[in-house]
Structures are given as structure tokens and as C-alpha cells.
Structure 1
Amino acid sequence: MLRVQVVFAWPHRCMQREVLLEEGATVADALRLAALETGEVAGCAVFGVAAEPSTPLRDGDRVELLRPLQVDPKEARRRRAQRQRDG
């Protein structure tokens, strides 16, 4: 059996579930069993490394649900550069 944590952390809401899975289980299996009510999810990761639903899990893994970006990274860089130019 695999013991896996499934977590998500939004600005005003955090949740964590521990699930028990059979050997050979995947990220999709863990998410299905955890049944977290998360709303919009941008993807998932295992210990901070992007993962596909078909990614196999190991005992002790932490599956993280990723929230959508709030600002486009290119736009954020433009804004920072503009602030530096403006003083």
C-alpha cells in the first residue's frame, strides 16, 4: 500500500487529505480518491515537480493541486521593469 498526501492551498482555503493506494497507483488515482472540492485547477505536481495524471506515485509522495496564475508572467516582468525605470 502507498500512503500519499493530496494538498491544495488557495489564498483563503487550504485542504489536505491522506489516501491509501495500491502499488502502481497514479496521480489521477490519488485525486479521484481524495475527492477534494477545489474549483478551477491549473495542473498538479508531486513535491513541486509538474506531473501528469498518469504519473506513477511512490509511498510518501505529496500530490499538489496548482491554482491558475493570477498574472501573466510576461506582463508581471513588464510591470516590474516599468517600475524600475520610473524610479
Structure 2
Amino acid sequence: MLFAVLCKDKPDHIHVRMETRPRHLEWVDGLNEKGTLKIAGPFLDGDDKPCGSMLIIEADSQADAEAIAAEDPYGKAGLFEKVEVKAYKWLYNNPEA
């Protein structure tokens, strides 16, 4: 089952994002290698600066998806103001369909 992980950065925390980025990318690379990751990237503000993140991941359950999301180094570093994990159905342009 697919899940969307929607993360909103805390205001004025770009420094946390930049300091933590190498660990975050290593974590995302690991998800990708395992086949867990389907899509990932940052949200951008009006100045084209990152202000959040979105990942589409595959997990067996909501609890498993939440556990995966909780391992994000950005979250552990206190970057996020809010994280939502929602079941997701990929209808259009799904390469696996």
C-alpha cells in the first residue's frame, strides 16, 4: 500500500534543513535502494527555497508508514512543524500500473 508523507518545515528553520540534508539524503537513498520509496522531493516557497517535503512510500500498514516517516533525520532534528501520513492511491502515470 502507498502512503504520502507530507511534512511542513518550521518557519525560519532552513539552517536545520541544510545542516541535516546529508543525513536525510542518505536515509532517502536507503529507502530507494529497498524499493520503499516511490517519489520524494521538497516543497518550495515563493522564493524557490525548500519549506517542506513530500515522500510517497510503500508500507504494509499506516503504522508501518508512520514508523518509516519517524526515522527521517529532518524530523529527528526538529525541522518539521507538522507531519501527516496518509494512504495514497496512485491512479495516473503510475509506472507500475
Common fold, TM-score beyond 0.5? no
Q: TM-score range by the shorter chain?
A: 0.3 to 0.5
Report which structure shows greater RCO (CA 8 Å, sep ≥6).
2
Query: Where is the helix percentage greater, Structure 1 or Structure 2?
Result: 2
Q: Return the TM-score normalized by structure 1.
A: 0.35
TM-score of the superposed pair, with normalisation by structure 2 = 0.33
